[in-house]
Structure 1
Amino acid sequence: MLFTELGLSEPILRAIAEEGYTSPTPIQAKSIPAVLKGGDLLAAAQTGTGKTAGFTLPILQRLSSSKASSGKRLLRALILTPTRELAAQVQESVMTYGKYTGLKSAVIFGGVGANPQIKAIAAGLDILVATPGRLLDLMSQKCVSLDAVEILVLDEADRMLDMGFLRDIKKVLAALPKKRQNLLFSATFSDEIKSLADGLLNAPELIEVARSNSANEAIAQLIHPVDRTKKQALLAHLIKGNNWKQVLVFTRTKHGANKLVTQLEKDGITCMAIHGNKSQTARTKALADFKAGKLTALVATDIAARGIDIDQLPHVVNFDLPNVSEDYVHRIGRTGRAGSNGVAVSLVCVDEHQMLKDIERLIKQKLPQEVIAGFEPDPNAVAQPIQLRSQQHQQSRKPSSQKSGSSNTNSTRGKPPTKRSSPPKKSFSR
Structure 2
Amino acid sequence: MEDDDDTKQVEFHEMGLDDRLLKAISKLGWSSPTPIQERAIPLALEGKDILAQARTGSGKTGAFSVPIIQKVLTSKQTAIEQCVKALILTPTKELCSQAYKNILELTSCCSREVKCVDVSPQVPLPTQRPMLSEKPDIVVGTPSRVLAHLQAGNLNIRESLEMIVIDEADLMFSFGYEDNVKAILGQMPKIYQAFLMSATLGDDVRALKKMVLHNAVILKLTESQLPQTSQLTQYHIKCPDEDKFALIYALFKLRLVRGKTLLFVNNVDRCYKLRLFLEQFGIPACVLNSELPVNSRCHIVSQFNDGLYEYIIASDENLLIDPQNRPQDDTQKRQRKKDQEFGVSRGLDFQNVSNVINFDFPTSVQAYIHRVGRTARGDNKGTALSFISLKEMPLLERVEAELAGKDGQDTAVFKPYQFKMDEIEGFRYRAKDAMAAVTRVAIREARLKEIKQEMLNSQKLKSHFDENPRDLQILRHDKNLHTVKSQPHMKNVPDYLIPPTLQNLAGKGKGVKTRRGNARKRGPSEGQLKYKKRQADPLKSFQFKGLSANKKRKKEK
| TM surpasses 0.5 | yes
Using the alignment, how far apart are the partners of 1:121 and 1:248 within structure 2? 37
Shift of 1:192: 2.5
* Residue 92 of structure 1: aligned partner: 101
Using the alignment, how far apart are the partners of 1:372 and 1:287 within structure 2? 31
Matched ranges for 1:31-430 at <5 A = 31-67=40-76, 71-101=80-110, 102-147=113-158, 148-211=160-223, 214-217=225-228, 218-241=231-254, 242-302=256-316, 303-364=343-404, 365-374=412-421
Judged with a 3 Å threshold, the aligned counterparts in structure 2 of structure 1 residues 338 and 146 are, in CA distance, closer, same or farther, namely: same
AA aligned to 1:136 is L
Using the alignment, how far apart are the partners of 1:210 and 1:322 within structure 2? 25
Judged with a 3 Å threshold, the aligned counterparts in structure 2 of structure 1 residues 282 and 26 are, in CA distance, closer, same or farther, namely: same
Tell me if the contact between 1:155 and 1:186 (Cα under 8 Å) persists in the aligned partners.
Answer: yes
Tell me if the contact between 1:326 and 1:362 (Cα under 8 Å) persists in the aligned partners.
Answer: no
For residues 318-376 of structure 1, give each alpha carbon's deviation from its aligned partner in whole angstroms, at most 9, with x where no partner exists: 11111222110011011111121100111110111111122112212542223522279
Whose Rg is larger?
2
For residues 254-290 of structure 1, give each alpha carbon's deviation from its aligned partner in whole angstroms, at most 9, with x where no partner exists: 1211221221222222211111110123212321232
Shift of 1:90: 0.6
Tell me if the contact between 1:249 and 1:316 (Cα under 8 Å) persists in the aligned partners.
Answer: yes
- The 10-residue stretch of structure 1 (143-152 or 106-115) with the greater mean CA deviation from structure 2: 106-115
* Residue 37 of structure 2: aligned partner: 28
Aligned partner of residue 343 in structure 1, secondary structure: strand
Gaps spanning 5+ residues in structure 1: where? Answer: 377-430
How many residue pairs end up in the alignment?
376
Aligned partner of residue 219 in structure 2, secondary structure: strand
Using the alignment, how far apart are the partners of 2:257 and 2:416 within structure 1? 21
Judged with a 3 Å threshold, the aligned counterparts in structure 2 of structure 1 residues 375 and 7 are, in CA distance, closer, same or farther, namely: farther
Using the alignment, how far apart are the partners of 1:93 and 1:292 within structure 2? 16
TM-score normalized by structure 2?
0.65
Identity %: 31
Judged with a 3 Å threshold, the aligned counterparts in structure 2 of structure 1 residues 59 and 71 are, in CA distance, closer, same or farther, namely: same
TM-score normalized by structure 1?
0.83
AA aligned to 1:229 is E
Using the alignment, how far apart are the partners of 1:362 and 1:289 within structure 2? 35
* Residue 553 of structure 2: aligned partner: none
Judged with a 3 Å threshold, the aligned counterparts in structure 2 of structure 1 residues 273 and 196 are, in CA distance, closer, same or farther, namely: same
Aligned partner of residue 173 in structure 2, secondary structure: helix
Shift of 1:243: 4.5
- Structure 1 segments (4+ residues) deviating >4 Å: none
Judged with a 3 Å threshold, the aligned counterparts in structure 2 of structure 1 residues 239 and 6 are, in CA distance, closer, same or farther, namely: farther
The structure with more helix, counted as a fraction of residues:
2
AA aligned to 2:164 is L
Gaps spanning 5+ residues in structure 2: where? Answer: 1-8, 317-342, 405-411, 424-557
Tell me if the contact between 1:44 and 1:209 (Cα under 8 Å) persists in the aligned partners.
Answer: yes
Question: C-alpha root-mean-square deviation of aligned residues, in Å?
Answer: 2.0
Tell me if the contact between 1:110 and 1:133 (Cα under 8 Å) persists in the aligned partners.
Answer: no
Shift of 1:70: 6.6
Tell me if the contact between 2:98 and 2:348 (Cα under 8 Å) persists in the aligned partners.
Answer: no
Greater RCO structure (CA 8 Å; 6+ sep): 1
Aligned partner of residue 227 in structure 2, secondary structure: coil
Shift of 1:107: 0.4
Shift of 1:113: 4.3
